[in-house]
Structure 1
């Protein structure tokens, strides 16, 4: 179990909200579609507990965009959707209905771009807190079980920051999950930076 204070969770939620707010502006400009992004819930858990925290996504295939980040903090960030949510979001954005459970190349490209914008904006918000620029890998689109999507060489006690992300597009509401997996030591570094900012 990862011990965190309510103040730390509130601060992490605010940082993520700053990132998704910027991402929403970029997506609105890029897709010419009014998108509202909210982060109603943030939790910090250990990697070994992640299955129990993701509800229905534990037992259904998911769609995800994933990129690793390096710098003072290291790990992997993912934007994860149940398949029906992924299809619904992409259908609304590109104005087509999906008649197949498989996302075609256009839809994979759209979801990858959405994930890339959101994850980069969120990690940039953390970079601003740390007063440094994080480096990122090229985003990768993956599908499968949550275990396979998040299968990484992580310690079972490694911290995971999970943030529910709510998309509202043209009155349609879709929820996904921003999941940040931290290498051992990286979350402690982030926590110290947040504590320092709170006490400044």
Structure 2
């Protein structure tokens, strides 16, 4: 899918608004100062991203927080980390030592909360800025392959993926994660139409 520079800029701006809101909330909650930024976004099909993401995230299993959304457009949102980065992020934010028996349970709880805040902030920004109604499901923590995370639904290869690479900066520690929005068939066109209406007002 080929988007115009204006469309890409508009999507980037909306995602950045959401990430900025999430950073503010997380900084109020956590003792470790956290800074978030989204260097770039990409749009394509699951096939376009699978190989790239497998290489960048490393290994077969990745950690993710997933949340379905529906309404004016529908799909799912995921915050995805390499499993090692997920453990480091949880350890830094909770003070738990890497390798301790309690870290797995703590990691799931911590990442679920971070994912919930970040995903809701991004989806909420899309909803608010574009004045579109969206409903959210309860987020869930999963560990799975990249292939299974991006190939969802009945018409998998017809879905549109919006990939936003996210960088978490915490006390000199740089952790990368990905925000993945998978729009079901036709939903991304609705998003672009809403952006077009906004920019022509």
Normalised by the length of structure 2, the TM-score is 0.92
> Counterpart of 1:108?
108
Distance 1:101 1:94 in 2: 14
The answer to whether the aligner puts 1:8 opposite 2:28 as a matched pair is no
Provide Cα deviations, 1:56-107, integer angstroms capped at 9, x if missing partner: 3364320000000011010000000011111111111111221169952121
Provide Cα deviations, 1:28-79, integer angstroms capped at 9, x if missing partner: 1112321100000100011222213313336432000000001101000000
Provide Cα deviations, 1:139-197, integer angstroms capped at 9, x if missing partner: 01000211123341143121100000000011111000000000111100100111222
Which deviates further from its counterpart, 179-188 or 53-62?
Answer: 53-62
Q: Report deviation, 1:198.
A: 2.2
Q: Is the contact between residue 58 and residue 146 of structure 1 (CA under 8 Å) also seen in structure 2?
A: no
> Counterpart of 1:77?
77
CA RMSD of aligned residues (A): 1.8
Gap change, CA 1:102 and 1:48, over 3 Å in 2: farther
> Counterpart of 2:17?
18
Q: Is the contact between residue 96 and residue 103 of structure 2 (CA under 8 Å) also seen in structure 1?
A: no
**3-state SS, counterpart of residue 175 of structure 2:** strand
Summarize the alignment of residues 1-200 of structure 1 with structure 2, pairs less than 5 Å apart.
2-54=1-53, 55-57=55-57, 59-99=59-99, 104-153=104-153, 154-200=155-201
Which deviates further from its counterpart, 171-180 or 47-56?
Answer: 47-56
Unaligned runs of 5+ in 1: none
Provide Cα deviations, 1:110-137, integer angstroms capped at 9, x if missing partner: 0000000000000000001231341111
Gap change, CA 1:199 and 1:53, over 3 Å in 2: farther
**3-state SS, counterpart of residue 187 of structure 1:** helix
Which deviates further from its counterpart, 144-153 or 13-22?
Answer: 144-153
Normalised by the length of structure 1, the TM-score is 0.93
**3-state SS, counterpart of residue 99 of structure 1:** coil
Distance 2:105 2:89 in 1: 15
Unaligned runs of 5+ in 2: none
Distance 1:81 1:30 in 2: 21
